[in-house]
């Protein structure tokens, strides 16, 4: 369900019930681009983003709510735009005997784009948004920081009093990951163990990088890199034999996946004869968010807990 998660902390006022969100979501509901419009954005049914009259918020029992933010962007191909501008400029030349100047050429480009937009290919993208207000988490299923910022802006505009801030912990992810690589072990007490990929950077003028892919991280070479001053940029981890992911120094999770242990449990719980696609989706969503709630609690504790406002995070390796 989720693949890449950008995580934020929720503070300030939170909506108490799903019903409190619905009027605002309806006002901001997604509508496809008008013929001459380049971009459109809004909220859709998380369980069925293509539905025109779906539920704009899906409750996940005690695991928060799921929303979905959809965008549609139309772009006229550069070559097609240039060709049309050339045709229009040639028509003007034949009629007046003069070539369009810079200002006129700019106006022609705008007119050509306006003319071609209705026929332009529309690219749609939908991002799942998980609101876990009880535990103060906002998770966006995307890898683009810009898209994440756009969605946060839309949420804050829609929910009065909502405050979204970067996640901050007593120990920064970079410091913790470097420490774990230096010792050859992640904190088992929080269910974490090292995976088989990592990326380390030097912070000096060399900007040297070292990457390991499908490689043991419990080696003298890895420990030597940490001693030499390399800092972990990202690190693959496994949690409680139930989830795998890559943690980054920017507090994002990549390649999030439930393990076969969890998938088999869910397969048994669902059983045969579940034809309702929305029920299947909700079961998957509840399962994923339930595991994420537990994993994030352990990960926060492994990083020393939340950071008080104004308090700097530890960056030195332990």
Domain assignment present for residue 318? The answer is: no
DSSP category for residue 313: P
Taking phi over 0 as left and psi of -120 to 50 as alpha, with beta for the rest, 231 belongs to beta
Check residue 99 and give its pLDDT.
87
Q: What is the dihedral sign for C-alpha 11, 16, 19, 24?
A: negative
| 148 and 279 co-located in one domain | no
Q: Is the pLDDT higher at 297 or at 275?
A: 297
Q: How many CA atoms lie within 13 A of 34 on its CB side?
A: 3
Helices 277-302 and 260-270: crossing angle in degrees, nearest 10, is: 150
Mean pLDDT of the chain: 90
**pLDDT surpasses 80 at 307:** yes
Task: Name the residue range of residue 70's domain.
Answer: 5-75+121-166
| 180 and 297 co-located in one domain | yes
| 148 and 11 co-located in one domain | yes
| 264 and 192 co-located in one domain | yes
Domain assignment present for residue 313? The answer is: no
The answer to whether residues 225 and 201 touch, using CB atoms and an 8 Å cutoff, is no
| 11 and 127 co-located in one domain | yes
> Considering its fold, how many domains does the chain have in total?
3
Check residue 93 and give its pLDDT.
85
Q: How far apart are CA 74 and CA 37, in angstroms?
A: 8
| 15 and 153 co-located in one domain | yes
Q: How far apart are CA 251 and CA 168, in angstroms?
A: 8
Q: How far apart are CA 175 and CA 182, in angstroms?
A: 10
Residue partners of 17: CB distance under 8 A and separation at least 6? none
| 260 and 132 co-located in one domain | no
pLDDT band for 63, please (50, 70, 90 cuts). Answer: confident
Domain assignment present for residue 263? The answer is: yes
Domain assignment present for residue 315? The answer is: no
Q: How far apart are CA 91 and CA 80, in angstroms?
A: 17
Q: How far apart are CA 289 and CA 256, in angstroms?
A: 12
| 191 and 293 co-located in one domain | yes
Residue that finishes a domain, picked among 166, 193, 225:
166
Domain assignment present for residue 317? The answer is: no
Summarize pLDDT for 271-284 with one digit per residue, the tens.
555 557 788 888 89
CA 304 to chain centre: 24
| 147 and 267 co-located in one domain | no
Domain assignment present for residue 107? The answer is: yes
| 298 and 243 co-located in one domain | yes
| 128 and 264 co-located in one domain | no
| 31 and 59 co-located in one domain | yes
């Amino acid at each position: 369900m989720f693949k890449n998660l950008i995580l934020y902390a929720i503070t300030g006022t939170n909506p108490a019930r799903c019903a409190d969100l619905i009027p605002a979501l309806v006002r901001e509901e997604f509508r496809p681009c008008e013929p001459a419009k380049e971009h459109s954005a809004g909220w859709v049914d998380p369980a069925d983003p293509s539905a025109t009259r779906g539920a704009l918020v899906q409750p996940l029992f005690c695991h928060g709510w799921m929303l979905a933010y959809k965008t549609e962007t139309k772009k006229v191909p550069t070559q097609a735009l240039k060709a049309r501008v050339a045709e229009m400029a040639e028509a003007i030349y034949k009629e007046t005997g003069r070539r369009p100047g810079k200002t006129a050429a700019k106006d022609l480009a705008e007119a050509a784009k306006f003319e071609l937009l209705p026929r332009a290919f529309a690219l749609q993208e939908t991002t799942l948004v998980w609101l876990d207000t009880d535990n103060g988490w906002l998770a966006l299923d995307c890898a683009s920081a810009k898209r994440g910022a756009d969605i946060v802006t839309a949420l804050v505009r829609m929910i009065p009093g909502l405050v979204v801030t970067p996640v901050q912990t007593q120990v920064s992810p970079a410091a913790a990951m470097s420490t774990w690589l230096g010792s050859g072990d992640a904190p088992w007490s929080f269910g974490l163990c090292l995976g088989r990929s990592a990326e380390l950077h030097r912070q000096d003028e060399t900007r040297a990088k070292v990457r390991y892919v499908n490689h043991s991280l419990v080696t003298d070479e890895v420990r030597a890199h940490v001693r030499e001053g390399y800092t972990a940029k990202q690190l693959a981890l496994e949690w409680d034999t139930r989830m795998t992911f890559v943690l980054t120094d920017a507090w994002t999770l990549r390649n999030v996946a439930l393990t076969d242990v969890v998938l088999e449990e869910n397969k048994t719980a669902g059983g045969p004869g579940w034809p309702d696609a929305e029920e299947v989706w909700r079961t998957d969503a509840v399962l994923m968010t339930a595991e994420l709630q537990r994993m994030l609690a352990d990960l926060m504790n492994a990083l020393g807990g939340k950071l008080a406002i104004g308090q700097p995070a530890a960056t030195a390796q332990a």
